[in-house]
Amino acid sequence: DAGITQSPRHKVTETGTPVTLRCHQTENHRYMYWYRQDPGHGLRLIHYSYGVKDTDKGEVSDGYSVSRSKTEDFLLTLESATSSQTSVYFCAISDPTGQGALSLGYTFGSGTRLTVV
Amino acid sequence: QKEVEQDPGPLSVPEGAIVSLNCTYSNSAFQYFMWYRQYSRKGPELLMYTYSSGNKEDGRFTAQVDKSSKYISLFIRDSQPSDSATYLCAMTLNDYKLSFGAGTTVTVRA
């Protein structure tokens, strides 16, 4: 996916361990988002950022924290992973201050498949 | 009630058939409407977007918005096996926040 990369692509971790997922963009977009995608639930917003050090909670933020120290990087941390956090995590970026409807759309990364055992 | 409702399917059609997908929504203030396509083990990608009501056509794809009924549709003509994917609708007032449907999984059989 041009301009946005997620790492790692796959991870298996044990219950109770901390985990950090990274999202890196080269588009200089202001907004960055973390979603999780689960069967039957679709995409659910975890946290989002509207600038460096500016973040806010989404609908499923419990157990997750985020940080954005640079425009290009948005980190998602699971403080103490649980089996319910096994999911596919997507980062997305957008620049809604741009011109036209297309600027409102999100560009998604390829996802991180996280398994908590 | 969810803000955006989308039948998850799955939907299976033969090659060449017309695929019809739709979403309903509750917030009448939504202005911009989008369709994303997501292939297996990939991130969603923006397929089409429309503003307010009306139709928009792009090749084999047609997006329709009926704001009076709070209903949007995506039609795929002459469907191909390469169209097999999950299709998600999304909509926004005119700001950073997109509201997504749960996605409909489509399989086009060769």
Summarize pLDDT for A4-49 with one digit per residue, the tens.
999 999 999 999 999 999 999 999 999 999 999 998 888 999 999 9
Chain A contacts of B85, Cβ < 8 Å?
A: none
Taking the C-alpha atoms of residue B47 and residue A88, their distance in angstroms, rounded to an integer, is 21
Task: Tell me the pairing of strands A10-13 and A112-116.
Answer: parallel
Q: Which residue of B has its CA nearest to A93?
A: B96
Q: Which residue of B has its CA nearest to A38?
A: B102
Q: How buried is residue A27: exposed, middle or buried, by Cβ count under 10 Å (0-12/13-18/19+)? A: middle
Q: Name the least confident of A8-12, A95-99, B92-96.
A: A95-99
Taking the C-alpha atoms of residue A28 and residue B58, their distance in angstroms, rounded to an integer, is 29
User: At a CB cut-off of 8 Å and minimum separation 6, what does A85 contact?
Assistant: A36, A63, A78, A114, A116
Summarize pLDDT for B43-67 with one digit per residue, the tens.
999 999 998 888 899 999 999 999 9
Cβ within 8 Å, pair B43-A108: yes
